[in-house]
Amino acid sequence: MPWDPDKYNRFINQRSAPFFDAMALVHEKPALQAIDLGCGTGELTSHLADKHPDGSFLGIDSSPEMLRDADKYVKKNLRFEQRSIEQELALPETYDLVFSNAALQWVPDHEHLFAKLIKKVKPGGQLIAQMPAQHHNIANRLLLHLATESPFKEGMKDFKRDSPVMSLDKYATLLFTHGGTDLTVIEKIYPLEFKNVEEVYHFVGATGMIPYIEALPEALTESFINVYKQRLAEHFNSHPVFYPFRRILLSATF
Ligand SMILES: C[S@@+](CC[C@H](N)C(=O)[O-])C[C@H]1O[C@@H](n2cnc3c(N)ncnc32)[C@H](O)[C@@H]1O
């Protein structure tokens, strides 16, 4: 199941609040050279570019579906290229700002990932990342648990998406030991309100569920979705549904 920009954009307002908090951490710098890793549709990257008209912004994403309409955001100081974060990290280019909103949780092994991300930052530049604190978020935990149950466990050949997202202490220590200064390492709850539990399902369905649906044989997909919806309904049993979405914001200068 590929990424679907239409499903993703259904909750664009709820998804963009943490992006604007991450954007507020960007230090002003003339002619800022920046990269947005896992830029998705490019819509939020274009806000970054608009805030720094004399800068130069590159958005990269591995999903052709998400980048489908990114051309409409291309401007003098903003362009997009399709490649993975892993491919980007193998390239020699460095940036004043290495930025990533809601994407690094898809890349494994954060100890090594962050060491490589920091190498992409020019001296005096900044690394900023925003990610969901997946170990705490109930929708992720329910998915992870369901994947360990029969018949899904067998159907998915023991596939389970353990989150690579680490604790705040670990990120702070990692940034510091790699020479980071002016650290911001915080968690914030974004209060999401959904009309009903079906909406919570669609919210998670557009992101966290994707690898599970990809791993499941088609014959089990419908029952996996039904049981998942049932579990969500057991947990979120009042209307409207309040979902305290916990996210991590990181920034450091190198
Ligand atoms: C939740 S979306 C966030 C998109 C955008 N940053 C935003 O805030 O709207 C996650 C994005 O990460 C991309 N992604 C996931 N794994 C990736 C990887 N290894 N390399 C590049 N992009 C990746 C997906 O294609 C998707 O567009």
Task: Say what the pLDDT of residue 1 is.
Answer: 62
184-240 pLDDT, tens per residue?
Answer: 999 999 999 999 999 999 988 878 888 899 999 999 999 999 999 999 999 998 889
CATH number at residue 136: 3.40.50.150
Let me know: does 11 contact 193? Beta carbons within 8 Å. no
Query: How many domains is the chain built from?
Result: 1
Whose C-alpha lies nearest to ligand 1, atom 20? 84
Residues with pLDDT less than 50, the chain = none
Euclidean distance between CA atoms 49 and 52, whole angstroms: 5
Task: Say what the pLDDT of residue 2 is.
Answer: 74
**128 CB within 6 A, ligand 1:** no
Task: Say what the pLDDT of residue 66 is.
Answer: 95
Task: Say what the pLDDT of residue 134 is.
Answer: 78
Number of residues that this document lists for the chain = 254
**39 CB within 6 A, ligand 1:** yes
Among all chains, which residue has been given the structure tokens 């489908």? 68
Task: Say what the pLDDT of residue 220 is.
Answer: 94
Domain residues for the domain of 158 are 5-253
Name, in order, each residue with C-beta under 8 angstroms of 185's C-beta and a sequence gap of 6 or more.
168, 171, 172, 175, 248, 249, 250
Dist. CA 66 → ligand 1 center (Å): 8
